[in-house]
Structure 1
Amino acid sequence: MSLEITMVILLAAIFNASWNAIIKVSGDRIAVMAVITLLGSLVSVFALPFVALPDPASWPLLGLAILIHTAYHFCLPMAYHYGDFGQVYPIARGSAPLLVTLGAAAFAGEMLGFLPLLGVLFLGVGVMSLAFDTSTGITRNPRAILLALGTGAFIASYTLVGGLGARQAGSVLGFAVLLTLGNGLLTFAIALIWKAKEIKRVISSNLAPAIVGGGMQVGAYWIVIWAMAYAPLGMVSALRETSVLFAALISTIILKEGFGVWRFVSSGLIACGIALTRCKP
């Protein structure tokens, strides 16, 4: 993986951790997610005239990715309802890269060399090890763990489907823009039926952070979709999950959720994983 792709994926990781923190702290979490994705879809509307439409061959995968991403938009805030940001986030994100690597091997014939594969394993284990930080007590709530793992499965699914679709699309950015437009509108429409009052409250009291979150959400996903068109799916997914390091800083400094020894352990594993993914097979 080139240095340029590595750096932009790390930027996406910062965006991803930041908008997830906004979901955690800005009111009713499903309502906040709905507003953020709606605002992200508006960004996509403005971008639409500047991108080419994806090839029709990619539309089935585009539709499937929209449905999976929408399900993820509801599973994630439900996990945050039961568990702390500093532990739900790494469980969800850490379980995804290994699943993506397996899926890429099965459906795209992508077999990583020994060192990059070892890097993916280090990244996945490093991310997941944050779940052993017991300072916030998520391990005492089985619903939080199950929802976080379910979120990880959705992340892996939309990553794999979106990456394969982008490779068929011809226009990678066109595919990404339509995906964020579709899942933003669908998420908001479903949430509006369920959480109309809460959505109005978010718009009236927390619109500014939601606007920032919407921009970072679509920016992070556009970057990742672009990267997956040019780099192995499993490596892109694993490197994106370094966002847990930024999430650990946010949960410690801003959310005051504590900093345990496992965060030092996981940081070392993740650093080793990044270095190994940059190695040639």
Structure 2
Amino acid sequence: MSLEITLIVLLAAIFNASWNAIVKVGGDRIAVMAVITLCGSLVSACALPFVPFPHASSWPLLALAILIHTAYHFCLPIAYHYGDFGQVYPIARGSAPLLVTLGAAVFAGEVLSFLPLLGVLFLSVGVMSLAFDTRTGVTRNPRAILLALGTGAFIASYTLVGGLGARQAGSALGFAVCLTIGNGLLTFLIALTWKFKAIKSIAYGNLIPAAIGGGMQVGAYWIVIWAMAYAPLGMVSSLRETSVLFAALISTFILKEGFGVWRFISSGLIACGIALTRYKP
């Protein structure tokens, strides 16, 4: 993976950590997610006239990616209902790259060589190990762990389907823009049926943070879809999930929550993983 793609995917990871933090602290999490995704879809709608429309051959994958991404938008807040942010987020994000790497090998014929594959493993283990940081004060809930793993499966699925669709679309950005319009509107409409009052409250009281979160959400996804058109799916997915490390750094240096021993271990594994994914045989 080139240095340019590595750096821009790391930027997407920062965006991803930031908008997830907004979901965490914004009140009713499903309602916050709905408003964020709606704002993101509006940002994407503004970008639509400036990107090529995806080829018709990619439309079935586009529709499937929209459905999977929408399911993810609901599974993640439900997982947060049963488990803490410090438990759910690392497990969900850390399990996804391994599943993407396996799916890419099966469906796209992308078999990584030993060292990049080891880098993916290091990144995934490093991300998931943050769930064991005792400074986060997490409560171990088996239901939360199962939901986090289910969320990871949704992340892996929409990543794989979206990456393959972008390669067929003729325009990776055009595919990403259409996808984020579709899943944002669908998520909002579904949530509106039973979270109307909470959504109304957030729209009046926290619209600016939600709008910022929506911009970062779609920006992160645009970057990742673009990168997957030019780099192996599993490696891009792994780098994106370093967002968990950035979330830990935010909590340490901005929220002053401390930097426990597991964060040192996780940081070392993630740094090794990034170095190995850049290996060129």
TM band (smaller chain): over 0.9
Give TM-score, length-normalised by structure 1: 0.97
C-alpha contact 1:139 1:145 (8 A) present in aligned 2: no
- Structure 1 residue 258 displacement after superposition: 5.2
Q: Cα distance, 1:226 vs. partner?
A: 0.1
1:237 alignment counterpart = 237
The offset of 1:82, in angstroms, is 2.5
How far apart are 1:133 and its partner, in Å?
A: 1.6
Instruction: Report the equivalent of 1:112.
Output: 112
- In the alignment, the residues of structure 2 paired with residue 257 and residue 99 of structure 1 have an alpha-carbon distance, to the nearest angstrom, of 31
Deviation per residue, 1:57-105 (Å, 9 max, x gap): 0000000000000000001111222222233211110000000000000
Look up the equivalent residue of 1:32 and give its one-letter code.
V
* Preserved CA contact (<8 Å) 1:86 1:257: no
Shift of 1:128: 0.9
- Equivalent residues of 2:69, 2:158 under 8 A apart: yes
1:223 aligns with 223
Q: Distance in 2 between matches of 1:207 and 1:116?
A: 41
Residue 137 of structure 1: how far off its partner (Å)? 4.5
CA drift at 1:142: 1.6
Alpha-carbon distance between aligned partners in 1 of 2:172 and 2:245, rounded to the nearest angstrom: 28
The answer to whether the 8 Å contact 1:115/1:280 transfers is: no
Name stretches of at least 5 consecutive residues in structure 2 with no aligned partner. Answer: none
The corresponding residue for 1:121 is 121
Deviates more, 1:253-262 or 1:145-154: 253-262
Paired residue secondary structure (2:193): helix
- Aligned pair count reads 281
Q: CA deviation at 1:139?
A: 4.9
* TM-score normalised by L of structure 2: 0.97
- 1:213 Cα deviation (Å)? 0.1
Aligned twin of 1:131: 131
| 1:257 Cα offset (Å) | 5.4
Quick one: distance in 2 between partners of 1:20 and 1:26? 10
SS at match of 2:135: coil
1:144 alignment counterpart = 144
Gaps of 5+ in 1: none
Q: 1:35 aligns to what?
A: 35
How far the C-alpha of 1:256 sits from its partner, in A, is 6.0
Equivalence for 2:176: 176
Residue 219 of structure 1, CA deviation: 0.0
